[in-house]
Structures are given as C-alpha cells and as structure tokens.
C-alpha cells in the first residue's frame, strides 16, 4: 500500500523501549492539560450562544429571528456578529501561534505554556464581566492568544518528552483533555442555562482550567531538546535523567548524545530565517503534511459541529435544555473514542486510524444529509419528528466517535513529530496557525453555509472527508514508534516523498 509500513533502522536513535517513569507521566499530564482551555472554549461558546439572556444582551436580532413563527430552520442563527464572537478567538490564535515559534525557541516550551495559561485566564475574567460587545470580543482575543501559545508548545513538548514507543498514546492525551474540556463545558452550560447570569458563570469559569494548567506547568521542567537548543547542556542532562530514570543511565547518555547532535543543527539554523529553511526542497514533505493535515481536520466539519451543536439540535426540533444534553452526549462519545485511540494508536499506527475514522465519518455525513433532505427538505420549512431528530443525534455521535480516534488526536500528533529539531518550533507554529486560519474561516461561514447549502452542507464536508482519506492512503507515511530525530527515514523510503529528500549519511 502506498505510504504503508516501513522497515526502519532506529537502533541508533535512542532507546525506543525507554521505560515510562513517574516524571514522564506527570510532565505529559501537565502538558496535555493545556488542551483543557481549548476544549472548554469550544464547548462553552456553542452553548452560551443559545442562552436567551446572552442573546438578549448582545445579539437581540438573532433572538427575534428565532422567535418568528415561520423561519427557515437552516437560517435561524445566521448572524455574522454572532459568528464573529465565536471566531474572533481564532484570528488571535493564528497570530499568537506564529509568534510562539520564536518564544519557544528563545524561552522554551514550558515558558510558552505558562504565558498562554496566564493570557487565557485574564481573557476568561474579562468575558465573565463583559458589559458590551467590545469587552466580549476583547476577552476572546486574549483567549485566542492563550490558546495559540499553548497549542503550539504543548504537542511539541509531549512528542519530545514521551518515549518513542509510547509517543502516540501520550500525545493523544492533549486531545483527551480537549475533549474533557468540551464535556465539562457542556455540563456547566446545562447547569447555568436557566439562570439569568448563567452565561457569565459559563464564560468566567474558563479561568479555572487555565489556572490548573498554569500552576501545573510551574512544577515541570522543560524538554531536554529545548534546553539543549538554548545551550543549557547540564539542565538538559538533569531533565533527561529525571524523565528516563537514574537506573537507565547508559540509555540516557546514548539518547543525550543523539539530542546533542540534533541541537547543534538547531543552533546553527538560528542564523537563517525559518521561512528560508522550511521552504527548502528536502523539507517539502514536512511542509505539505504540516499544512494539509490541520486544514483537513477542520474540513471534517467537527469544530463547527462542536461550536454550533446546540444551535443545530435546536434547529431540528430540540428545546434549549435537550439540545445541551444532546451536545453533552456528543462530547462524551468523542472523549470515549479518544481513550480508545490512546490504547491502540501505538499498536495499529496512525494511518489505520486515519482511514477507519475517515470512512465512518463519510458515511455519517451522507446519512445526516439524506435524513435532513427527506424531513425538513431544501426549503427548511418542514418539520422533523422527534424520532428523526434522535436519529440525527445518533449519527452525529457515531461521526464524533470516528473523529475522536482519527483526525481529532492525530492532527495534533503527526505535525508535532515529523519535523527535525532545527525547524520543529517553526513547523509546529505553522501547523497550528493553519489550524486556526481554517477554523476561523469555517466557523465564520458555517451558519451561512448551512443557510445557503441546506442539507448539502453535510455533503460538502463529506466530499472533503473522502478527499483527505485518499490523501492519507497515498501520501502519509507511517510514523509509529520512530524516534522524532530519526523521522527522516520515513520520508526517504516513501514512494513519492523520497524524490524530495536527501539520504542522511550514516
């Protein structure tokens, strides 16, 4: 199969069977918890935008449209101002993720995560106290900077700290915490939905996960790779010894020697513009995958479904409370599938999960489109019976499960593990920036797309899911179990990408 499993020599690239120590577990849990703030915002935003007091205060025109007797169900919540509230975070996140590459190179992964936590915390407080649209958008911009910093630094931290054999499972922890944040936000939205100031509580409580992950980051060390790249050899040795265990001193010295060689290249590359380096022909495969994967993740439609799930469920016949319950179920299913992915990712590999998840999501998108077509129709004035509405929820849950073990976690994992150290911060920043840009574009246009395309919106995303599945089959090599500093081998042996890479002398 194109791009399939490869027999790679990793014997000289560090200890692939390195033991999992308490320090590794603690460091990875703390870094992965950065996903909490991203997940909480995804979950809280969609729920808050269906709360009547929130709409009365900031978006009365949307509330008026929703109360009209005869309204196209596809177009009830089509408001550019409402989508600006949701998507403004992603413009800020895009800018922050690009800045973060310089921050992580100069000050380390850990410091960048701490900065992101503080920025998000202040944004949450401003949103909880918002008195007007200006405060609301300003708060979300700060949230965006916080998410941009942490989303750039945390996946790289996880890939550099985790033992190669278990890197997939540990890195998926980031996505698990995103999903936990979504589930927690859905529960909070359900609890605050009936309160006059419930939206303030929901938005303000975003400070809690930010405080948790920020405090946690104060108690972990930076990655050995990051410390070496900044010339801190002794600290890197101490950090690696703590992560791998003093009883594995021989393996620690071998791994450290490999990291030192990689870090020398990173230090030498500082004099070059990262754009000049990353655009070199030999890094073409890395660049294409780092750009295409996050774009495809958003084109699955999952993020806009998460944002607007309460809105979507209300559009097909659920009340506010039931819509939030259905959204909670959706988030819980996604979390369960992520946990399943954690258990099998390092056994079956990345490609298998990408392909299996893609096929399942494609079938669900087609089924939802057909169901909407035969019930509410193209005009949007048909009535969907409760049984059909429940079927929509079931199909979207199956869709969320497929995403949860494939494009959800793997879109963060793969870009964080494919780049050599010299361009890893820049590469991850680029990938995160593309993710934010795609999320902004889709979140800003989803409600209008739903209004214009009707049930065809789901066929639109289904078409993209088919395209990305073919891309994985043809162009994505398997990276399971390969040390990050030996990843060049997968490109050199790939049927297509080998024409761009230069074999590394042994």
Please tell me whether residue 483 adopts helix, strand or coil conformation.
Answer: coil
- H or E element at residue 350: helix 350-375
Q: Is 219 exposed, middle or buried (0-12, 13-18, 19+ CB in 10 A)?
A: exposed
pLDDT of residue 213: 93
% residues pLDDT > 70 (the chain): 82
Distance between CA atoms of residues 469 and 296, nearest Å: 9
Q: Answer yes or no: are the C-beta atoms of 329 and 397 closer than 8 Å.
A: yes
Rounded to the nearest 5°, which phi and psi values hold at 359?
-65, -45
379-414 pLDDT, tens per residue? 655 566 777 777 888 888 899 899 998 998 999 899
pLDDT of residue 397: 87
Look at residue 6 and tell me whether its pLDDT is greater than 60. no
Q: Answer yes or no: are the C-beta atoms of 412 and 273 closer than 8 Å.
A: no
Distance between CA atoms of residues 248 and 16, nearest Å: 13
Count the alpha carbons within 13 Å of 467 in the hemisphere toward its beta carbon.
13
Cβ-based neighbour number of residue 505 at 10 Å = 4
Sequential DSSP letters for 151-184: HHHHHHHHHHHS-GGGHHHHHHHHHHHHHHHHHH
Least confident of 210-214, 296-300, 330-334, 346-350: 330-334
Distance between CA atoms of residues 306 and 321, nearest Å: 16
pLDDT of residue 168: 86
Residue partners of 234: CB distance under 8 A and separation at least 6: none
pLDDT of residue 506: 43
pLDDT of residue 14: 44
Name the nearest CA neighbour of 84 among 138, 137, 38: 137
Distance between CA atoms of residues 327 and 311, nearest Å: 10
Distance between CA atoms of residues 260 and 489, nearest Å: 19
Work out the mean pLDDT of the chain and round it to a whole number. Answer: 82
Distance between CA atoms of residues 345 and 101, nearest Å: 28
The token pair that represents 461 in the structure block: 């995303």
104-159 pLDDT, tens per residue? 888 999 999 999 999 999 999 999 999 998 899 899 999 999 999 999 999 989 98
Predicted confidence band of residue 305 (pLDDT cuts 50, 70, 90): low
263-295 pLDDT, tens per residue? 776 666 555 555 677 888 889 999 999 999 999
Distance between CA atoms of residues 179 and 177, nearest Å: 5
Distance between CA atoms of residues 240 and 293, nearest Å: 31
Q: Answer yes or no: are the C-beta atoms of 230 and 223 closer than 8 Å.
A: no
Name the nearest CA neighbour of 345 among 172, 470, 474: 172
> For 474, which DSSP code?
H
Cβ-based neighbour number of residue 247 at 10 Å = 10
Q: Which residues of 18-36 are buried (b: 16+ CB within 10 A; e: fewer)?
A: bebbebbeebbebbbbbbb
Sequential DSSP letters for 425-468: HHHHHHHHHHHHHHHHHHHHHHHHHHHHHTTHHHHHHHHHHHHH
Least confident of 67-81, 255-269, 349-363: 67-81
483-504 pLDDT, tens per residue? 877 888 899 999 999 999 865 5
Least confident of 182-196, 311-325, 423-437: 311-325
Q: Answer yes or no: are the C-beta atoms of 223 and 160 closer than 8 Å.
A: yes
Name the nearest CA neighbour of 102 among 189, 237, 229: 229
Predicted confidence band of residue 91 (pLDDT cuts 50, 70, 90): confident
Q: Is 123 exposed, middle or buried (0-12, 13-18, 19+ CB in 10 A)?
A: buried
Distance between CA atoms of residues 454 and 378, nearest Å: 6
Q: What separation in angstroms does the CA of 267 have from each of 231, 281, 297? A: 8, 21, 32
């Amino acid at each position: 199969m194109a791009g399939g499993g490869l027999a790679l020599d990793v014997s000289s690239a560090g200890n692939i069977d390195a033991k999992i120590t308490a320090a590794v577990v603690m460091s990875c849990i703390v870094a992965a918890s950065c996903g909490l703030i991203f997940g909480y915002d995804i979950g809280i935003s969609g729920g808050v935008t269906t709360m009547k007091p929130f709409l009365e205060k900031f978006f009365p025109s949307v509330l008026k449209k929703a109360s009209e007797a005869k309204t196209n169900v596809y177009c009830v919540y089509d408001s550019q101002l409402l989508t600006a509230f949701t998507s403004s975070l992603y413009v800020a996140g895009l800018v922050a993720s690009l800045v973060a590459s310089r921050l992580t190179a100069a000050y380390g992964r850990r410091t960048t995560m701490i900065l992101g936590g503080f920025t998000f915390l202040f944004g949450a407080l401003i949103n909880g106290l918002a008195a007007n649209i200006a405060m609301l958008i300003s708060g979300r911009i700060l949230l965006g900077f916080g998410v941009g910093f942490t989303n750039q630094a945390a996946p790289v931290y996880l890939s550099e700290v985790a033992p190669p054999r278990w890197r997939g499972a540990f890195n998926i922890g980031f996505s698990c915490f995103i999903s936990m944040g979504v589930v927690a936000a859905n529960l909070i939205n359900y609890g605050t939905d009936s309160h006059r100031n419930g939206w303030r509580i929901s938005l303000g409580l975003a400070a809690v996960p930010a405080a948790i992950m920020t405090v946690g980051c104060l108690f972990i060390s930076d990655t050995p790779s990051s410390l070496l790249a900044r010339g801190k050899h002794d600290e890197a040795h101490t950090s690696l010894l703590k992560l791998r265990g003093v009883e594995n001193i021989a393996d620690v010295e071998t791994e450290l020697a490999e990291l030192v060689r990689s870090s020398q290249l990173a230090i030498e590359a500082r004099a070059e513009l990262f754009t000049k380096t990353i655009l070199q022909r030999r890094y073409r495969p890395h660049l294409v995958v780092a750009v295409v994967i996050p774009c495809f993740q958003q084109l699955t439609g999952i993020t806009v479904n998460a944002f607007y799930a309460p809105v979507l469920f209300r559009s097909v016949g659920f009340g506010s409370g039931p819509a939030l319950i259905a959204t909670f179920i959706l988030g819980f299913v996604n979390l369960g599938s992520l946990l399943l992915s954690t258990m099998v990712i390092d056994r079956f590999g990345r490609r298998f999960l990408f392909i299996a998840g893609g096929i399942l999501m494609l079938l669900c998108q087609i089924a939802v489109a057909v169901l909407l077509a035969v019930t509410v129709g193209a005009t949007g004035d048909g009535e969907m019976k409760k049984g059909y509405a429940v079927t929509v929820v079931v199909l979207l849950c199956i869709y969320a499960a497929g995403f949860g073990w494939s494009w959800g976690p793997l879109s963060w994992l793969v870009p964080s593990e494919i780049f050599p150290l010299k361009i890893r911060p820049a590469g991850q920043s680029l990938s995160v920036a593309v993710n934010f840009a795609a999320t902004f574009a889709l979140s800003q246009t989803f409600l209008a797309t739903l209004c214009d395309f009707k049930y065809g919106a789901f066929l639109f995303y289904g078409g993209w899911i088919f395209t990305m599945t073919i891309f994985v089959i043809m162009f994505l090599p398997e990276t399971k179990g390969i040390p990050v500093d030996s990843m060049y081998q997968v490109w050199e042996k790939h049927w297509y990408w080998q024409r761009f890479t230069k074999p590394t002398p042994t």
